[in-house]
Structure formats: C-alpha cells, structure tokens
Structure 1
C-alpha cells in the first residue's frame, strides 16, 4: 500500500469507527479528540484488519508513542513492510 492509500484508509477508520469527522493528520489525538486507551485498542484491531495480520505484543507496544494520524500512517507502513518480509 502507498502512503496515500494508508492515510485515506486510516481517516476512513476515524470517521467510521470513532465518529470523528474530517480529522487532521497532525492533530494530537488525545488532546483534540479525547482518544483514550480503549480507543487505541480498537484502533490496533482495525490496523490488524487493514493489514490482514495479527500484531505481536512488541508491535503493539511500539504503537504506544503514536500521537497523530501521521504517526499511525508511518506505523502502518512499517508494519506492512515488516509483514511483507515474513
């Protein structure tokens, strides 16, 4: 997947699953959208569905520093690359 494809899919997830309309890619998810740990767990599940893989515990831990949609896009690109090797 390209960066643009991933970004569009992530924005769609935010609009569809979290009911956040027109999210900005550089907004702090916690501050602007009150994104919490339960939301983060749901988002990781959506990422697994998007990638068609189950993320490892270490891969999920790596997501704990995510603050923006831009961060999520970079994370998904890295996970996609890692899982394409396997």
Structure 2
C-alpha cells in the first residue's frame, strides 16, 4: 500500500468514524479535532485491522508521540518497514 493509499484510508476513517470535517495533514488532532486518548486507542485498533496484525506494546507506546495525520502515516510506514526487515 502506497503512502497515498494509506492517506486515503486514514482520512476516510477519521472522517467517517471520528466525524472529522475536512482534516488537514498537519492539523493537531487534539487541538483542532478534539481527539482524545479513547479515540487514539480506537484508531490503533483500526490501524491493526488495516495492517492485518496486532501491534506490540512497544509499537503502541510509539504512537504516544502522534500529533498530526502526517505523524499517523509516518508511524504506519515505520511499523510496516520494521516488520518487513
């Protein structure tokens, strides 16, 4: 899956499941969209489903630094790359 395809899927999830309106890739998820820790846990579950595997505790802890949609995309690419190595 390319970054563009990932972006489309993540934007779709955020718009449909979290009711984001016109999210920008550099928007602060918390400040601009009211994204909270419960939302983050739910999003990680959706990312696991999308990737087809369960994230390790360490991988989930890495998600704590996510602030923007670009961060989400970087996070997914990093995990996929590490798993393929």
TM-score interval, smaller chain: over 0.9
Number of paired residues? 85
Partner in structure 2 of residue 84 of structure 1 = 84
Q: Measure the CA separation in 2 of the matches of 1:5 and 1:78.
A: 15
Partner in structure 2 of residue 36 of structure 1 = 36
Q: Measure the CA separation in 2 of the matches of 1:82 and 1:54.
A: 14
Partner in structure 2 of residue 65 of structure 1 = 65
Unaligned ranges ≥5, structure 2: none
Q: Measure the CA separation in 2 of the matches of 1:21 and 1:31.
A: 14
3-state SS of paired residue (2:20):
coil
Detail structure 1 runs of 4+ shifted over 6 Å in the superposition.
none
Cα RMSD, aligned residues only: 0.9
Greater RCO (Cα-Cα under 8 Å, separation 6 or more): 1
Give the TM-score of the pair, scaled to structure 1.
0.94
Unaligned ranges ≥5, structure 1: none
